[in-house]
Amino acid sequence: MPMKPLSRRGFLHGSAAAVGAASLGSLPFQAQADGHGLTVGFIYVGPKDDFGYNQAHAEGAAAVAMMDGVTVVEEENVAETVDVQNSMESMINFDGASLLFPTSFGYFDPHILEVAPNHPDVRFQHAAGLWSADMHPMNVGSYFGYIGMGQYLNGITAGHATTSKKLGFVAAIPIPQVLLNINSFLLGARQVDPEITCQVIFTGSWSNAVREAEATNALADAGCDVITCHVDGPKVVIETAAGRGSYVCGYHADQTSLAPDLYLTGAEWNWANVYTGMVQTALDGGTIPNFVRGGLTDEFIKMSPLGPAVSDASRAQFEATKAEIMAGGFAAIRGPLMSNTGTQILGAGEALVETDIALESMDYLVEGVIGSTS
Amino acid sequence: MNELGLWAIPIAVLGGAIRVSTPFLFVSLGEVLTERSGRINLGLEGTLVIGAMVGYAVAYLSGSPWLGVLAAAAAGSAFGLIHGLICSLPRVNDIAIGIAMMILGTGLAFYFGKPFVQPVAPDLPSIPLGWWSSIPQVEAALNVNVLFLIGAAAAFALWWMFKTTRIGLVIRVVGDSTDAARAMGLRPAVVRTLATMAGGAFAGVGGAYLSLFYPGSWNEGISSGQGLMAVALVIFARWNPVACFGAALLFGGAGALGPSLQSVGISQGYHLFFTAPYVLTLGVLIATSSTTRAMTGAPGELSITK
């Protein structure tokens, strides 16, 4: 009897269904047991203990894992390619996840946008301000923190610590969020001394250890005595800068342990607070808003404890400015303000407060920053 | 701008050449040794990453960075041994095995290296050869790691070995003609396996330099393709160890061009400056190419030349 030839697609379909059915029967046991269990998936682009971007998210995931009735599944080192689509599909189909946090910027378009319409019951939360109601599915949401304010506070401690009046910034790629951090860092320092300048070096990549080390050495060679960065894993920059005797300001997560004597403070994400809040909303049967933003006041970001090198005057100005920011409506970017190519950005009396949407399309470096966006 | 003005660029390029070149140097010396015996080991990128991980882990656990370097060399030669043994089987393609070993090496390193991403291991010491200068930039540039000096010495030692010693002759004969080697009573598979092991040890040490000195920490992104580029440098250097030293220096120095130009205020088009090492490689290859002398110095038994 001639057998019907089995196509590869048909085989995959059948076997996947079989595996899926088997795992459905056994895996989400606790979820079925208490009736309202929730499985939450976290996906990271790099290692989750990188002292940086991914660690900040993983600390949030760890806080979620402590909540009652919640199971957390995690996957790290997932590329911003079709890989992340497979990870999301597998978390949904095999782990039963109904809330996903694919954390990297490049996961959004096209990957989340590809997968989300096939799973209307699953919520996709993405860390950036990319979601818009008229373009994207309703089961996708964006959340975002005003971490530029943290770099502004970093800048105040840097302004007090520097003796050369030159700060250094190792930056990955000139996107608006990075430019806002660089500008905020310098403007914070200029609250201490308007003569201060900031040298920026772009590495052209979110993660390239050797190039970050070279950039840090070049900044130290140029006389920068306080160095900070915006790259995925600040470990190399912090260690190299401290090795050259420069003070350092942290980013993404707390890097105090890497340079205990030279670490001034750092701008950190506070995802633990944000994620537990969102998961609690989901557990209570509520709807997570599609667009969530917050700053220091909303505990989306926090500052590392001030290091031993921070002077009393520095501490006082840091705390005073922090209180102003906490009061709301604070503007780091205020006029009169020129770009470093000589065009006017804001006239006297104008200001862009931390919540201003115009900050999210920033394409300039302010006067006093040495560097170029292209 | 700083007080040195444009002088900062050559100083930074010199410093970069010394700091960045060492992994390229060790991996390319290892590859020269292997290829001179007639085998290509494309897996040295994986060996480099495994060396970086093992070196960092052992240095952290033992407190001694030099034990870390030794362990990295041992791990590298173990990888070389696997490659050498598999390639000694009949009709096995060394390039395919190399690619498999590269992926295996990085995978194993990521898996076993997980607990060592956070701890801080002791760094290898460096020698302040810039003590005579009062300019901090020069002092920093001439802070030379011992491994760099060992690598430079090894380049000349290998060159001398190939040229004048019996071991060098044996490796060259095996690499140039299996038949001639057999006629001399040599066992080509054994010689090649040993050469691949030694080459792996070199690559492992190159990895230890990455994790224990510069940039000096272990994580999954520690290698930005140094192992692969170093294999290409071997062809660039025409299988000559001393030329490998020059090629590694050139490559490291060109890599420092991007950051140092930005630090003196020349920041337009930094993406182009970062491609300088690759453009330079292409340029030198074109400049030294010839229709009559193509592949000069290539061992006769190499699978890419056969």
Look at B216 and A213 and tell me if their CB atoms are within 8 Å.
Answer: yes
Q: Cβ of A172 under 8 Å from any chain B Cβ?
A: no
The one-character DSSP state at A256 is G
Burial per residue of B6-22, b for 16 or more beta-carbon CB atoms within 10 angstroms, e otherwise: eebbebbbbbbbbbbbb
pLDDT of residue B128: 87
**Hunting for tokens 């990521």 — which residue is that?**
B110
Question: Which residues 58-87 of A have a C-beta within 8 angstroms of B?
Answer: 77
Q: What is the pLDDT of residue A30?
A: 39
Nearest to B255 among A212, A214, A257 (CB): A214
List of chain A residues whose C-beta atoms are within 8 Å of the C-beta of residue B207: none
pLDDT band at A11 (very low <50, low <70, confident <90, very high): very low
Q: Running DSSP on this structure, what letter comes out for residue A58?
A: H
Give residue for tokens 């996906």.
A43
Question: Closest approach of chain B CAs to the CA of A101, in angstroms?
Answer: 22
Kindly report, residue by residue over A176-233, the tens digit of the pLDDT.
999 999 999 999 999 999 999 999 999 988 888 899 999 999 999 889 999 999 999 8
Q: What is the pLDDT of residues A320-371, one digit of tens each?
A: 999 999 998 899 999 899 999 999 999 999 999 988 888 888 999 999 999 9
User: Where exactly does CATH 3.40.50.2300 map onto chain A?
Assistant: 11-145, 148-268+302-370
Return the amino acid letter for A323: A
Residue A86 phi/psi, 5-degree rounding, is: -65, -40
Sequential DSSP letters for chain B: --TTGGGHHHHHHHHHHHHHHHHHHHHHHHHHHHHHTT---TTHHHHHHHHHHHHHHHHHHHS-HHHHHHHHHHHHHHHHHHHHHHHHSTT--HHHHHHHHHHHHHHHHHHHHGGGSSS-PPPPPEEETTTT---HHHHHHTEEEHHHHHHHHHHHHHHHHHHHSHHHHHHHHHHH-HHHHHHTT--HHHHHHHHHHHHHHHHHHHHHHHHHTSS----TT--SSHHHHHHHHHHHTTT-HHHHHHHHHHHHHHHHHHHHHHHTT--TTHHHHHTHHHHHHHHHHHHT--SSSTTTT--TT-TTT-
Torsion of CA A183, A186, A190, A195, to 10 degrees: -110
Q: How high is the pLDDT of residue A309? A: 95
The C-alpha atoms of residue B23 and residue B69 are separated, in whole angstroms, by 13
From A263's Cα to the closest Cα of chain B, the distance in A is: 16
Query: How far A141 CA sits from the closest chain B CA (Å)?
Result: 30
Percent of chain A with pLDDT over 70: 90
Do B255 and A221 lie within an 8 Å CB cutoff? no
The ipTM of this complex is 0.86
Rg of chain A (C-alpha set): 23
Q: Which pLDDT does position A57 carry in this prediction?
A: 96
What is the distance between the alpha carbons of residues A87 and A78, in angstroms, rounded to a whole number? 8
Each residue of A270-329: pLDDT tens digit?
999 999 999 999 999 888 999 898 999 999 999 999 999 999 999 999 999 999 999 988
The low-confidence residues of chain B, meaning pLDDT below 70, are: 1-4, 290-296, 304-306
Cα-Cα-Cα-Cα dihedral sign, residues A112, A115, A117, A121: negative
Q: Which CATH architecture has domain A148-268+302-370?
A: 3-Layer(aba) Sandwich (3.40)
Question: Is A252 an 8 Å CB contact of chain B?
Answer: no
Chain B residues with CB inside 8 Å of A173's CB? none
Is pLDDT above 80 for A6? no
Segment A133-184, tens digit of pLDDT:
888 899 999 998 999 999 999 999 999 999 999 999 999 989 899 999 999 9
Residues 187-246, chain A, touching B (beta carbon < 8 A) = 199-204, 207-215, 217-223, 233, 235-236, 239-240, 243-244
A172 in Cβ contact with A178 (< 8 Å): yes
Q: Which CATH superfamily is domain A11-145 in?
A: Response regulator (3.40.50.2300)
B289 touches chain A (CB under 8 A): no
Which residues in chain B are closer than 8 Å to A174, comparing Cβ atoms? none
For position B163, what pLDDT does the model report? 94
Mean pLDDT in chain A?
88
- B contacts of A200 (beta carbons < 8 Å): 262, 267
* Residue B205 tokens, joined: 């040490």
What residues does each domain of chain B span?
22-126+147-287
CB B140 within 8 A of CB B126: no
pLDDT of residue A35: 46
Q: Are A265 and A318 in contact (CB under 8 A)?
A: yes
Q: What is the pLDDT of residue A344?
A: 94
Beta strands A123-127 and A99-102: pairing type?
A: parallel
CATH fold of B22-126+147-287 reads ABC transporter involved in vitamin B12 uptake, BtuC (1.10.3470)
The dihedrals phi and psi of A59, each to the nearest 5 degrees, come to -65, -35
Task: Output A1 or B28, whichever has higher pLDDT.
Answer: B28
